[in-house]
Structure 1
Amino acid sequence: MKTDKIYLFLLIAVFSIQAISCNRMLDIAPENKLTREKFWQKKEDAVSAIIGTYSTLRSNQEAFLYWGEVRGELLNSIPGKGAGTDKESIDVFLIQPSNVMNKYTNFYKVINQANLVIKNIPGIVAKDPSFSTENANQIMGEAYFLRAFTYFWLARTFKEVPLILEPSESDGQNYNVIKSPFEVIMTQVLADIKLAENSLPVAYDSDVQTKGRATRYAAYAFEADVDLWLGKNQEAIAACDMVINSKQFALLTPTNLGNLFTPGNTGESIWELQYNNSLNQTHSLYTWFNNKPYFSGNPVFSLFDDPVDARIVTSITPGGSVQKYNISTNDAHWIFYRYADVILMKAEALAHLVPDNVANLSLTVKEINKIRSRAGIALIPVISNTQQADEFLLDERGRELCFEGKRWFDLVRFASRNNFAGKDMLISRIVSAVNGVDQLVIRTRVDNPESWYLPLHVDALSSNSLLVQNPYYQ
């Protein structure tokens, strides 16, 4: 327990070794030379550096929600509740380059800290005899994982962003960097994941650390996610099987589903952001979903077509408030990957391995039914084709993973396959959450696939002369 408390405390400590303020491109100050010379000397420096990187990742909580969930059809903003025009505009796809929610500064802070760890950790081995090469490789594996994960979010949100693999250390560095194509970024993401898989542990000394830090199984789950985006279905299946065959994870029983987020760190969780009100580690999810609230989750009721579904009471209240984070201390955990997600990712990969293949679709049904069985609802008898599988999968992912920052990205991934063959599916689901003339308005705003990505913020464009605005917003 003492180790857990130290770990949790470190997560809220200021990551002072990189005094982060503003530079011309990414709002990241070069690392002070004196600080650099005094730091990176011993094992404790390495540990605090990587824990600080996790802490900075947590500062992106709001973006995880708005970028990954609010743009989907399962949440509706409630105007006039104080969220503000910029945030409400995200929900109705009326997004300007000046919108504050387009800022990616904190994501690049994570990347810069990861880059610093990758560059400086090897040198500590020669300076501190207690810091082994194995220790160094593990922490570098975490840094590669976090860098990859951050770029994964940026690529899915903006499509093209600057790809920076060296730390900001000097005012003399060139901070004008062009955007890299989506495919180039994702190739780097996969390369970083592979480096992480080779050096991450399967577990740490406690459940708190095992669930809150990157493990080898978290890397496998992450890889499966990336593989699905790239159409690498066989690789996605293999990555999912690494998690499944480990026997380290299991679906919670229906009566324990509420424990996923509070108190968290369950046997179903693979990797999550941890919060603890007693240590002043909080977010605003309760305020946004339950106290104000800024959102209504009423659209999700259309997916829950069986009233005995065990997920209803742990996902949403009868009045439409989100239940998953309904704790007034604002310290419910935010889960990035859990076992149910891995099962559904495998089902998706199987369905697309060979389109309309009867044997593979049968296996897809088997995986989906694992989730439905846990929920206590009727099993799917058969799926006839891959298109039908997509509809079943999107519905099941919506029921299982609603409000967890995945919905918009799920819609885009499914819609983008085979040269946007699923575009009409995305449009129909998005407009289903609004009524009347709003359906026509929203339909025109999401008809162009380029509109599925956010614009680069005006500050990023003004500070980097080589950046070009995303096509839809030019």
Structure 2
Amino acid sequence: MLKKIYLQTIALSALLLTTACDSWLELRPQDGIVQDRFWNNKEQVASAVGGIYASIIDVIPEKVFVMGEIRADMVSSSFRITNNELEILNSNILPTNPLTDWRDFYRIINYCNTVIAFAPSVLEKDKTYTQEALKAHVAEAKAIRAWMYFYIARLYGDAPLKLSATSSDDEIVPIAKSPQKDILAQIEKDLLEAETDAPSTYGTREKDHGRVTKYMINTLQADVYLWMEKPNEALAATNKVINSSKFGLVSNPGARGNSWFSVVRAGNSNEGIFELAFGSDYTLRFGITNYPMYAIFGLGSSSTYRRYQASAYVNEEVFTEDLIDPTNYDTRADESSLTMTTGVIRKYDRTSGDSPFNVIMYRYADVLLFKAEALAMLNRGAEALAIIQQIRTRAWAIPQTEKSPDPANIDGSGGVLDYILEERAREFAFEGKRWFDVLRHAKRANYKRIDLLLDLTARSVPVERQQSAIAKIKDPNSHYLPIYQYEIQTNKLLVQNPFYK
């Protein structure tokens, strides 16, 4: 049954990507859905790789936003929020909450494992399938597997580490958790191997943004190395992207204009590094109310579907306003991204037929601020501050949010790293990164900056729950989600996160 489901998914996923994204994918497995009839030619491998991307597009945009934002301090509930989301937002996380279920991540990982396991066999069956093409396909699978495990490591801490394919029901066996450090080591290994074989380009900017390239891998490496507290490696990874001269910040130096719109909502700008591409006709075929982020943010100020809006903290402190000159504003908080007066998040607004229809996962601003963070960790504070200024200049950031930390004050309160964290809040508002950013900074050097999490909790949890929530956040085990109850019941080798026992 599992084998049949997997191969049907490949067929449907390839169909979705072929019609909604680009023509680089062939349609479907040509020889049916039986595995021993599937891995026979290069077109089938391409379909299997396409299935990985389609499975990502199906679940990741909303999942990443929810898990990366609702435990943080930049969103608040709107009237369509679900009870399960509200419990997490209020710091009341239970193993019975289905939002803690990790199966979406592991489903994608299994698709990656299957390509890694079975694609090499096609070399002997299809003489037109080259070693170079095989390596590129496996590199894509390894990079995406690493990306999914990076989410798992940051969300769950310790978790099962499975690197072999499960292609039939009799291969389903219980697996115990591996330590987070082992998962991170495997992520590092996968990315180093993938970097060697991944293409630098697929020929067009649209394809390069929608698939794994060396530069997507380098950006992900920088993210991982910062989490692992390896600033030298993170710096080297960012420099590979920067030195390629393929990317730049989209800016309008003469006037505010709509440069921010062209980066975040239009997609496929010179700033994009990795984007989930739904295709230019997505809203035409499926309807505007089916676009991935519609169920979270609605559309425009009058939508009745909204589950989240910007918190008061965003308006009052993250962006704030120029009370003397209202025409002076940070372009990252203008009407195309956020309605300051109502808190309506408009960064993901779409209209029917918007082209292209992309959700951005990594962009060049990520690389620059990753580099600033690595430089700061290496006590090169002045260089880090110069990068922050570069980001702020592009965004027309206002003086009210400008800081002048001592370049020698790296990780103290109000230091360079705090300024980087503040700038990341402005640059990547509502892009599913806030919780991970704050946790990364807080846990560094054995939780030297636990105050960052304490302050975040005090800002985000209702007053009547604050004392309980603050007491919880002091325990590092609470920073990771529980194992969903279903998994505990069906896999007797799993041990629950001790905070939730």
How far does the alpha carbon of each residue in 1:134-153 deviate from its partner, in whole angstroms, 9 at most, with x for none? 00000000000011001111
Match in the other structure for 1:25:
none
| Correspondence for 1:350 among 363, 367, 375 | 375
Q: Summarize the Cα distance change of 1:89–1:435 in structure 2 as closer, same or farther, 3 Å threshold.
A: closer
Write out the 4+ residue segments of structure 1 that deviate beyond 6 Å after TM superposition: 9-17
Match in the other structure for 1:386:
410
How far does the alpha carbon of each residue in 1:189-238 deviate from its partner, in whole angstroms, 9 at most, with x for none? 01000111001111113222110100000000000000001111000000
Task: Find the aligned partners of 2:72 and 2:40 in 1 and give their Cα distance.
Answer: 46
Q: Which amino acid aligns with 2:445?
A: N
Aligned length: 449
Q: Which amino acid aligns with 1:300?
A: V
Contact map agreement 2:319 2:333 (CA 8 A) in 1: yes
Q: Which amino acid aligns with 1:285?
A: M
Structure 1 segment 64-103 matched on structure 2, within 5 A: 64-78=64-78, 81-103=79-101
Q: Which amino acid aligns with 1:190?
A: E
Is residue 320 of structure 1 aligned with residue 323 of structure 2?
no
Contact map agreement 1:455 1:469 (CA 8 A) in 2: yes
Structure 1 segment 252-267 matched on structure 2, within 5 A: 252-254=250-252, 255-267=258-270
Match in the other structure for 1:48:
47
Contact map agreement 2:249 2:394 (CA 8 A) in 1: yes
Structure 1 segment 74-473 matched on structure 2, within 5 A: 74-78=74-78, 81-173=79-171, 175-254=173-252, 255-275=258-278, 276-280=282-286, 282-290=290-298, 291=303, 292-298=305-311, 299-301=313-315, 302-305=317-320, 307=322, 308-313=329-334, 314-318=336-340, 319-329=342-352, 333-353=358-378, 357=379, 360-377=380-397, 378=399, 381-384=404-407, 385-387=409-411, 388-434=415-461, 436-473=463-500
CA shift for structure 1 position 329: 4.8
Q: Summarize the Cα distance change of 1:140–1:296 in structure 2 as closer, same or farther, 3 Å threshold.
A: same
Match in the other structure for 1:63:
63
TM-score, L = length of structure 2: 0.85
Contact map agreement 1:10 1:51 (CA 8 A) in 2: no
Q: Which has the larger displacement, 448-457 or 322-331?
A: 322-331
Q: Which has the larger displacement, 102-111 or 308-317?
A: 308-317
Contact map agreement 1:77 1:88 (CA 8 A) in 2: yes
Contact map agreement 2:176 2:494 (CA 8 A) in 1: yes
Q: Which amino acid aligns with 1:278?
A: L
Contact map agreement 1:315 1:402 (CA 8 A) in 2: no
Task: Find the aligned partners of 2:431 and 2:72 in 1 and give their Cα distance.
Answer: 11
CA shift for structure 1 position 5: 5.7
Q: Summarize the Cα distance change of 1:345–1:306 in structure 2 as closer, same or farther, 3 Å threshold.
A: farther
Q: Which has the larger displacement, 127-136 or 397-406?
A: 127-136
Match in the other structure for 1:29:
none
Task: Find the aligned partners of 1:211 and 1:46 in 2 and give their Cα distance.
Answer: 21
Q: Which amino acid aligns with 2:265?
A: T
Task: Point out where structure 2 has 5 or more consecutive residues left out of the alignment.
Answer: 1-16, 253-257, 323-328
Contact map agreement 1:7 1:209 (CA 8 A) in 2: no
Q: Which amino acid aligns with 1:230?
A: M
CA shift for structure 1 position 93: 1.4
CA shift for structure 1 position 316: 1.1
Q: Summarize the Cα distance change of 1:409–1:330 in structure 2 as closer, same or farther, 3 Å threshold.
A: farther
Task: Find the aligned partners of 1:64 and 1:238 in 2 and give their Cα distance.
Answer: 27
Specify the SS of the correspondent of 1:270.
strand
Q: Summarize the Cα distance change of 1:330–1:471 in structure 2 as closer, same or farther, 3 Å threshold.
A: farther
Task: Find the aligned partners of 1:271 and 1:77 in 2 and give their Cα distance.
Answer: 29
Specify the SS of the correspondent of 1:179.
coil
Q: Which amino acid aligns with 2:347?
A: K
Specify the SS of the correspondent of 1:58.
helix
Contact map agreement 1:286 1:330 (CA 8 A) in 2: no
Task: Find the aligned partners of 1:194 and 1:426 in 2 and give their Cα distance.
Answer: 32
Contact map agreement 2:82 2:307 (CA 8 A) in 1: no
Q: Summarize the Cα distance change of 1:404–1:365 in structure 2 as closer, same or farther, 3 Å threshold.
A: same
Q: Summarize the Cα distance change of 1:315–1:448 in structure 2 as closer, same or farther, 3 Å threshold.
A: farther
Task: Find the aligned partners of 1:88 and 1:82 in 2 and give their Cα distance.
Answer: 10
Match in the other structure for 1:27:
none
Specify the SS of the correspondent of 2:362.
strand
Task: Point out where structure 1 has 5 or more consecutive residues left out of the alignment.
Answer: 18-31
Specify the SS of the correspondent of 2:145.
helix
How far does the alpha carbon of each residue in 1:215-270 deviate from its partner, in whole angstroms, 9 at most, with x for none? 00000000000000111100000000000111101111153211223331111010
